[in-house]
Every structure is written in C-alpha cells, then in structure tokens.
Structure 1
Amino acid sequence: MKIDSLHYITTNPEAAELACQGGVRWVQLRVKNQPYAVWKQLALETQAVCRRHGATLLINDNPRLAQEIGADGVHVGQADMPAAEARAMLGASFIIGGTANTFADVQRLAAAGVDYVGLGPFRFTSTKENLSPVLGLAGYTEIMRQCEAAGITVPIIGIGGIILEDVAALRNTGLHGVAVSGAIGSAEAPAKMTTLFINELSVLISI
C-alpha cells in the first residue's frame, strides 16, 4: 500500500477541494464536537471531492462513520478506539493510521498493524486540542533513530504546526512525509501552497 508523503487535514469539503486542486491526494477529515448527522454530511461531501480528484479519504477518530460511508480508511488518536480494535472492525482492506508522541507509541502501533503513524506534534498548533508534548526536530531525530535500530519500517508522518520551511529538515530525519492543516488551509492561496509542499517533498524524494 502506497502512503502519500503529503497528508492534508481539514474540517470541511470546501478546503479539501482547494487542496485537491493543488495536487493533494490524501485527505483526512477531522470533525469535532458535532452531531453524527452533521459529521456524516461533511464526510459525504468531502468524499465526493476526493472521488472527483482521485484522492484517498480518511475519517479522523470515527471508524463507524468511515465504515458506513465506505471511506478509504480511518485515523485513530491516542484517546480513541485502539488501532487493533479498529482493524478487527474494518478489515484488512481499510487504511488505518494512528497517532504517536513517543517511540513506545510507535512500537505499539506498529505491532497493531497500522498502515502509517502520525508522529507529533512538531511544534505547538492551535488546530489540535489536548496537545501532547512538543517533539521538535531533536525529538523526531531520536525517535527515527530508535525506529531504525528496532527495524520498524511503518511509514511515519510528521504532524503538528508544520510549515513549508520545515519540510527539508524533517524529511532528513527519515520521516516518510508530513501532515499539514493550517499551513495550507490558512494560506492566502491554498491550492498554490499545496503545490509548493508537493514540489518540496518531490525534490527531497528524488535526491
């Protein structure tokens, strides 16, 4: 299974559309504090966007909804359904990602059979409540070193307040890619910013 190097996290289909216009092909819908019916409608509209653009759609923290609408996968946080339970519920064909803040978290998720790990936060971000301790570049470097030593090969995605200028240094730690929200969603030209991220990641992949 190919895991994209750029993951876009959004709360609405309109933002997903702009990012997909810029080239994003991996969208995670994160909806908080909304009734199930509202969440489902947003998910269906975002799914329609993703299908038009050939993009992968993951639902954050709601395996039941992901299963109901036939999304491509789900991302489970540390306070949500355990990854192993989500796998048992959704089956082998669903993409399952999990959130990690430490090497021990990565080990646990890898053992549970996730398809990728979202490791963070890189720095403080206002788009996430109940933020775990910030890792910074040194934290990523150490955790990636530990993963290599332990033979852990699951793709690891950096997340948390990442901007375009961070990409090169983060990829140099061995990360598979990055997940962004505000850096694209709050940009003056989201589609253009998306393309800049993709170009930066592509340059690093080819080196």
Structure 2
Amino acid sequence: MTLLIPSNHQDLIEHVRHVLSLAQSVGFDIDDIQISEVKESDVIHIDDSERRQIISSDLLSVQMNNKADYRLHYHHGFVESDFPKVIQSMTLGDVYIDVHSEFERKDIWSCREEVIKASSGALSLTDAQEHFAWFIVSIVLDFPLEDAVMLARAGSVSHETWPSKREQFFTPVIENSHLAIKVGWAVRASTSVFPTLSKSSLGLYPVVDNVEWIERLLKQGIKTIQLRIKDPDYPNLAQKIQKAIQLGEQYNAQVFINDYWQLAIEYGAFGVHLGQEDIETADLTLLASNNIALGLSTHGYYELLRVVQIHPSYIALGHIFPTTTKVMPSRPQGLVRLALYQQLIDSIQYGEKLGYPTVAIGGIDLQTAKPVWDCGVTSLAVVRALTLAADTQHVINEFSLIMAGERDGLR
C-alpha cells in the first residue's frame, strides 16, 4: 500500500509517521505501508491492489476536491444551527470538524446518502494537522468512516498513545433536531435499566438455529445460549421460541432470543440479542420494564460508544474472523482491534463496576479460541465449532479448559 502525501506538507507527513508508529505499537501490521511525497498535489492518495482512495481537506487546498472519497472541512465557519441547510448539500464522505454549539463541539459527517451522523464533546480541537493525520491513518488501516472520525478525535486527545479510555472519545449523537438525527430508542431508552450480568455467568456461548440444539447443549452443561432463527416465516416460530425459553428455565440457563423481541416479552425470555439495525425499531424501554437482559452487536468504536448509552447487559464484538453463518456488512475485526475495543470497554462504567461483559463472535473455533480469549473478552460465542463437531461434549470441555486457564499477556 502506498500513501501519497503532498511534499509541501511536511508537518502532516511527520504526524502521519508518528500515528503509524503508534498503530504498530499496539499490534497493527504497517510493514507494507509506504509513504511517498508528491509534488503539485492537493489531495491524499491511498493506493493498494484493490482500490484507490482520495482524501481532500481545506488543510491542503482552499478548493475542496469534489471527487474525493472523503472531504474534511476544518475552516468551515458553521455552527450547529446552520446545519438544517448545510446537510441538504452534504454527500457521502463530507466531514465537518469542530462545529460549535452552545455548550459543546461536534463532528458531523455523511456516511451514505441522506444519513447524517455526529459525535459531540466538550473539548475544542487544538491541532488540526494532528487530527487529520489520525483520520488518514485510520482510513489506511481500513477503519470505516465513522470509526475514523471517532479515532481522529480521540487520538488528538491521547497524543502519545493509542486512545483506550472512554474520556478520550467523543460521544455519538443519538438525538438532534438540527442534524435530523433521531433514533427511536434514543431518549427513553437512555434512561432504561437492563439487568446486569456477572461476567462469570456467560461462559461459552453457543448460537444455534433450532430448539433441538438448545436442548442438547443445555443437557451438556451449557449455561448461556442464543436461539437465532433468521427466517421470520419459520414453521411454528412462536412455539419454538416458547420452547427455548422453557428449556432455559428447566436447566437454569440464560437463553437469549435473537431479534424476535415481542415474542421474547410474551413468553418471558431471560434475554434478547439485537443487531444494530434491530435497535432502531425495537421497544427497548418495554424490554427493560420486563426485566429482560439485552445483548447488542457492535462492529467498531462508533457502534460501541453508541450502544453503551442505553446500558445493555452485554456487548458483542465481531465478527472477529471470516464467517459463513451470516452475511456481514463489516470486514473481520481481527485480534488487534478486538483487544483495543476491549481496553476501551474496560474503562466504561457498568453498574457499580468498570467494564461491560463482552462476547467475541465470528469464526471462533478451538484453534483460534486461545488468542481471542487472551484479548480479555468475557465470553466466546461459537456456532459451527459446535454444530459441526463429531463430539460436542469433547469440544465443550476443550473450550472450558481454554477459558479456565491463564490468559497469556493481555494485548
């Protein structure tokens, strides 16, 4: 991969080199990233074998390159109340940094057509070049736009280290009339209280698609399990969910129902697991009032910091490795990112303690379980590692040995 930076921006080049060294210090592989200086250019080019990406900014040129994939506006002069008009002309890749409002600063961006996202915090940006360098490196490391924006802001606070503390990050905005940001659960759910779980209660966490597997695995000692039936037209769906919940009660186990939260409420489920899309429509306040535990899927910094505002019972981190059990909108996270997300989560308040219970998911088997466990997660979610096993009890026992052992050098 080649990173092409205009040669007349030496301060930026040095900042980029520094951030790359910080990335290397936490485990990212930067050996194939080459920085080249180019003359007569007013944009950043990121070239690899798959694609070319262009980053434009008013730090590089007064005239923004409209063909760029990302356009960072630092010298825009807008305040938050201007944005009902500004967002009408925003397109994919527009990022406005340090927008002033009455009591805080906001970073505002367009992730895709007509979808505006934002994050907010108290601190004003002090070094735009440093911030821009963090954004560039985040894109080079293949973070999605929303995570690159979050990391750039946090990195310009942490300075000499990779950001790992909650107070270094801005907070994703979940409700704002000026920005037309409105999430169904935002206001009420942020004050809801979901049951907290002891980290030791999760253990090995199978995710299965039928009740027969639930009964079989509960008989073999599993204490946390999820029923994930993808097809809403699945025959006798309600009865299957009811049976799964009854099995959980029979074996004193924590059975989570994926997605079908209305049926989970109707039949008194222990817990519900929802994806990012599901939380837009689910009545989270109703779930909380029924004392149903809530697990939420996340795929990066932005989503993680977004969902902790509704205080779920646990946070799923994934997908860690490539998986064939589900079509995923994101790329595999890998071990380095998993460890970094875990460090951040360990700094976030959960009930009276620090650190949410976390469930790593995606492509985990007996060969990969140990390095995943060493990242500090609370639980390992498995699918094919059990459902395709010739001897499920043996596999359960092997996972249990891994999770009961010492963790090697937490990342």
What is the TM-score normalised by the length of structure 1? Answer: 0.89
Other-structure match for 2:287: 90
What is the TM-score normalised by the length of structure 2? Answer: 0.47
Instruction: Pick closer, same or farther for the CA change 1:199–1:52 going to 2, 3 Å.
Output: farther
Contact kept in structure 2, 1:19 and 1:194, CA below 8 Å:
no
Q: What are the superposed Cα offsets for residues 101-154 of structure 1, whole Å, 9 maximum, x if unpaired?
A: 002211111111101011100111111123421001112122223334566611
Contact kept in structure 1, 2:245 and 2:268, CA below 8 Å:
no
SS in 1 for 2:308: helix
Instruction: Pick closer, same or farther for the CA change 1:164–1:99 going to 2, 3 Å.
Output: same
Over 6 Å off, 4+ runs: none
Mapped to 2, the partners of 1:126 and 1:160 lie a distance apart of 9
Other-structure match for 2:143: none
Instruction: Pick closer, same or farther for the CA change 1:147–1:51 going to 2, 3 Å.
Output: closer
Determine which of 291, 297, 316 is the counterpart of 1:118: 316
Instruction: Pick closer, same or farther for the CA change 1:199–1:131 going to 2, 3 Å.
Output: farther
Mapped to 2, the partners of 1:25 and 1:87 lie a distance apart of 24
Give the CA deviation at 1:64.
0.4
Determine which of 396, 405, 411 is the counterpart of 1:194: 396
Q: What are the superposed Cα offsets for residues 79-107 of structure 1, whole Å, 9 maximum, x if unpaired?
A: 11349x54301125210010000022111
Contact kept in structure 2, 1:5 and 1:157, CA below 8 Å:
no
Counting helix residues as a fraction of each chain, which structure ranks higher?
Answer: 1
Instruction: Pick closer, same or farther for the CA change 1:64–1:162 going to 2, 3 Å.
Output: same
Instruction: Pick closer, same or farther for the CA change 1:36–1:165 going to 2, 3 Å.
Output: closer
Other-structure match for 2:102: none
Bigger mean CA deviation after superposition, 177-186 or 43-52 = 43-52
Q: Which runs of 5+ in 1 are unaligned?
A: none
Determine which of 327, 332, 342 is the counterpart of 1:144: 342
Give the CA deviation at 1:42.
1.6
SS in 1 for 2:279: coil
SS in 2 for 1:28: strand
Mapped to 2, the partners of 1:26 and 1:150 lie a distance apart of 24
Counting strand residues as a fraction of each chain, which structure ranks higher?
Answer: 2
Give the CA deviation at 1:176.
1.0
Larger C-alpha radius of gyration, 1 or 2? 2
- Residues 1:161 and 2:358 aligned together: no
Contact kept in structure 1, 2:320 and 2:332, CA below 8 Å:
yes
Determine which of 25, 35, 39 is the counterpart of 2:223: 25
Mapped to 2, the partners of 1:188 and 1:36 lie a distance apart of 27
Instruction: Pick closer, same or farther for the CA change 1:196–1:18 going to 2, 3 Å.
Output: farther
Other-structure match for 2:83: none
Q: What are the superposed Cα offsets for residues 143-178 of structure 1, whole Å, 9 maximum, x if unpaired?
A: 223334566611111000100222221122121111
SS in 2 for 1:164: coil
Query: Which amino acid counterpart does residue 308 of structure 2 have in structure 1?
Result: A
Q: Which runs of 5+ in 2 are unaligned?
A: 1-196
Q: What are the superposed Cα offsets for residues 25-44 of structure 1, whole Å, 9 maximum, x if unpaired?
A: 11111011232762212212
Query: Which amino acid counterpart does residue 271 of structure 2 have in structure 1?
Result: G
Bigger mean CA deviation after superposition, 55-64 or 148-157 = 148-157
Bigger mean CA deviation after superposition, 117-126 or 15-24 = 15-24
- In the TM superposition, 1:56-135 aligns within 5 A as 56-82=254-280, 86-92=283-289, 93-135=291-333
Instruction: Pick closer, same or farther for the CA change 1:48–1:110 going to 2, 3 Å.
Output: same
How many residues are treated as equivalent by the alignment?
A: 205
- In the TM superposition, 1:34-49 aligns within 5 A as 34-35=232-233, 38-49=236-247
Mapped to 1, the partners of 2:249 and 2:369 lie a distance apart of 27
Mapped to 1, the partners of 2:319 and 2:280 lie a distance apart of 20
Mapped to 2, the partners of 1:172 and 1:102 lie a distance apart of 19
Give the CA deviation at 1:73.
1.1
Mapped to 1, the partners of 2:317 and 2:285 lie a distance apart of 23
Query: Which amino acid counterpart does residue 78 of structure 1 have in structure 2?
Result: Q
Give the CA deviation at 1:203.
2.3
